Amino acid sequence: MRNRLVTVIFGSLVLWGFITYFLISDEPVNKERDTAKVSNQISKLERRIKQEIALNQELLEDIKEDKQRKKKVDIVNTNADEKQKDINHVNEDKLLFEKEEKDINNNDKNAQQLQIEPMYSSEASYNVPMKGKLPNGSPILAILVFSCNRITVQRCLDQLIKYRPSVEQFPIIVSEDCQHRQTADVIARYGNQIVHIQQPDQSDIEVPPKEKKFKGYFKIARHYGWALNYVFFQLRYDTVIIVEDDLDIAPDFFEYFLGTYPLLVSDNSLWCVSAWNDNGKAGLVDDNAADVLYRTDFFPGLGWMLTRQLWTELSPKWPKSYWDDWIRQPEQRRNRACIRPEISRTRTFGKTGVSNGMFYERHLKYIKLNTEFVHFTKMNLTYLLKDNYDINFVNEVYQSTVVSFSELKSGKVVAAGAVRIPYYSRQAYKNTAKQFGLMDDFRSGVPRTGYRGVVTFYYKGRRVHLAPSANWNGYDTTWS
């Protein structure tokens, strides 16, 4: 019995030992299983996170692309809106201009307004003001240089840049025609010191058979029309000074136009200011009168200032050729005058050109260019306003002593002061003009530099008036 009990107890102990061993030995297995399970879960989580990151990255890229596309669309829409605004502005101006033109000349039903074709500056960084005045109230006077196929435009541009007192007040726009590569290269060298535009219509121009040798004049008129439309209607300048590529300018060129600008915009009887004196040859001007200015019924050109208001009037009926003679016609001039100087502020060096040197050897190369700087902006120039000028001018001319050319040439005139030489016919005028070396031609009946028929010049230290009778009643267009 006792042995059986011992056996049962021993067996129980052995059984308990086996159970304890298996329990103890099973714990690491469970831990390994748990560790493996956790590791698997972590791996799955890492893969999930990587997937989420990849998805998020793709989403971000999509968002960026959407933003870029939206930005491009916004820019395009903005540009379109701005272009539409510009078009609207141009259309408004054109409608206004057409209305004014109809009021001015109701009979001109066949007038056609020139097309405005955009041609932008090669220097996109050049900031062109869109108003007529600077922030301080001073006027902006744009310089429009016409060029074609002369590389000597460099001479003209060098002087303009040298004497220009302010880039902001006097922006320079060079309008190039002819597609002459060498000329274009010269202009391009000036970079953002200027604005370079190019006349886009280089098609062959229709010319009447009898005028084929004058085709150049047709191209010039087309170029002028396009460029002035562009500068006034696209760039929207209020005032422009026209310069051609074969002109030298005086040191006070800019001061001259700045000083006379208030006259041009305040006196409706004026329609231009010119830097040129057609009879301004050395020996026919007073070297000590660089500050003296005149009114003239003859349109001088060769460096002249006009306003948008005038171009508004002329643009719809701009001619196909010979624009300078056209502008001198009574229908265009409408009894208006220009300001011109005693001593020219421009001088042409262009012997060769469309005109084939007409007048150059006899007259133009002898024009005296002013060298004395005159501060016109500090002068009182109200004596040039029509109401003031006409009374004084008529009194001076017709109260002066009457003399003959021979008396004046021989120095036998005793009376002091200005003198007058009368003329009563076209031929009488031409004969006397040739004797003095004046330009003797007429345009629409108006002699060069004439005002109320009077041509004033300087000869042997004396002011001379070549004048019609005191009861003069207007120009005779048959004298041309």
**With contact defined as beta carbons under 8 Å apart, do 410 and 435 qualify?**
no
Tell me if residue 324 is catalytic: yes
Please tell me what DSSP assigns to residue 352.
S
Q: What is the C-alpha separation between 274 and 154, in angstroms, rounded?
A: 22
- Tell me how far apart the terminal alpha carbons of the chain are, to the nearest angstrom: 167
DSSP 199-257: ----S-----GGGGGGHHHHHHHHHHHHHHHIIIIIS--SEEEEEETTEEE-TTHHHHH
Q: Which of 86, 238, 286, 324 is catalytic?
A: 324
Q: What is the C-alpha separation between 238 and 131, in angstroms, rounded?
A: 7
Q: What is the C-alpha separation between 298 and 337, in angstroms, rounded?
A: 7
**With contact defined as beta carbons under 8 Å apart, do 258 and 322 qualify?**
no
Closest CA to 443 of 458, 426, 428, 456: 426
* Exposure class string for 432-454: b at 16+ Cβ within 10 A, else e: bbeebbbbbebbbbbbbbbbbbb
Please tell me what DSSP assigns to residue 128.
-
Strands 247-249 and 172-176: unpaired
Q: Catalytic residue positions? A: 324
